[in-house]
A and B are shown apart, each in its own frame.
With several copies, the nearest count.
Chain A
């Protein structure tokens, strides 16, 4: 296990400290909890946004705490949902009287822990609501199952709902906008290598020298299938087509694109993927309004990427363009 860490059991705490030391102008830490909140929280009268989940997806979620995005981010152990207590503490710390929206990714553990925290906060008469992000088209959606997973498309929810909250919108309005993003964003990922949870010390799945996993989740959950290595163009074609099958875009519609690196894949390769994404969309008459290329929601040191496509309307475009100032996402 080649990692730049100290004790595996301390990685999350040391990381959170490192974030606070790096970005004191943006965030502060709640005492005794792995929770980051905006330095000037709570902001009176503004709906507050809280996100979080297991660690190992940095810059998600602490990197998005700041103006125009999140008010609080709760970090669980690596790949494990946080317990309700820190989520509850985050809610209390950021509530400025206008209520708190929780942005939860669709994993059983996350949903239950965030729900319990919500119930705890409601007992203190704080207005709390939540949305569940489920953008991963690799997993079938069916009423009988846990449904699709939430992956990198979540960052669009942070950005756009965050911008909406800055406008002074109500909790209901912010939730509605967040839900609109969720309804219009689809993602799919793939991996070239597994990753190692520090506490486990070894990879929990394997891929042959000539193999990749298509549809890989951000915790190493299996995807749709294993495949032999293909070119970037072929892989991109597959991901984008699966997304478009589900998103059903019409000629002339506008989208935002995110090409997200899982960690080890260099920016060079992400841009090569982006080129192909553009070509495919262009051929279908779909207009790319904005593109994000980089590492937005990672998976420890995994190699691979995900593509997210968000269908835009006028409101989403305006909010996507709005100013954001956080450690990991800035928009002037």
Chain B
């Protein structure tokens, strides 16, 4: 696997498409145990990102991702803006001036992104947040790389782990974000942010395999 600058932009635009398609779905998930705006927030954010990159995408992968993160931060508000924004900015910092990345780079970038999310949101595994999709995905990716799987296979593992994580959020009590006000009543419902994270992994995987 090797992804260049243009491909990164393509992937981000595809993420924007997928978010748009799932706007209602994500919003409905958030309505049940949150405030019903996650799809709207993400759609607003990625719409702005698409416009931003059209106008000035930056010179290298680091730039692209930092611009993506900053645009998310500046346009979303709420919880997901700073979280996804920080994730993309940290990934961008990690990528630096690279014009091409491979699966090992991706693993490092994802590690930085997850660290950023945890630093910003103070959530840990089992708090019923996006961390419950991202952290298992990162573990699965790392393990697959260690086991010598192909990048394609490794990414597939990550996507599967993310969706397993999403599924698991149904079983647990929310301890961070708005859903935490519901305490026990949050059980049985899937976390919206974890779902959007899994959706992003799936989009990346699909785009790498086209």
Contacts and interface: CB of A to CB of B under 8 A. Distances in A.
Interface string B21-32: 000000000010
B183 A108 contact: no
B79 interface: yes
Interface stretch (A141-149, A169-177, A259-267, A321-329): A141-149
Q: Give the dominant DSSP class at B's interface.
A: helix
B121 A112 contact: yes
Contacts, number: 82
B178 A204 contact: no
A200 interface: yes
Interface stretch (B7-15, B36-44, B150-158): B36-44
Contacts of A85: 73-74
A81 B78 contact: yes
B123 to A, nearest CB: 9
Interface in A213-267: 217, 219-222
Interface residues of A, number: 31
Interface in A64-94: 76-77, 79-85
B185 A200 contact: no
A108 B74 contact: no
Contacts of A77: 77
Given A80-B77, A83-B76, A113-B77, A219 B121 contact: no
A140 interface: yes
Interface string B79-90: 101110010000
B77 A82 contact: yes
Contacts of B74: 83-85
B175 A220 contact: no
B180 interface: yes
A221 B181 contact: yes
A99 B118 CA distance: 28
A116 interface: yes
Give the interface SS of chain A, mostly helix, strand, loop or mixed. Answer: loop
A139 interface: yes
Interface in A16-64: 54
B176 A109 contact: no
Contacts of A115: 82, 120
A271 interface: no
Interface string A180-202: 00000000000000000001100
A139 B181 contact: yes
A145 B176 contact: yes
Interface of A: 54, 76-77, 79-85, 107-109, 112-113, 115-116, 139-140, 144-146, 149, 199-200, 204, 217, 219-222
| Closest 8 pairs (CB-CB, A-B) | A112-B82, A109-B78, A109-B79, A108-B79, A146-B180, A80-B77, A145-B180, A83-B77
19 contacts: A76-B77, A80-B37, A81-B78, A83-B74, A83-B76, A85-B73, A107-B79, A107-B178, A109-B77, A109-B81, A112-B120, A113-B77, A113-B82, A144-B175, A145-B183, A146-B178, A149-B181, A200-B36, A204-B31
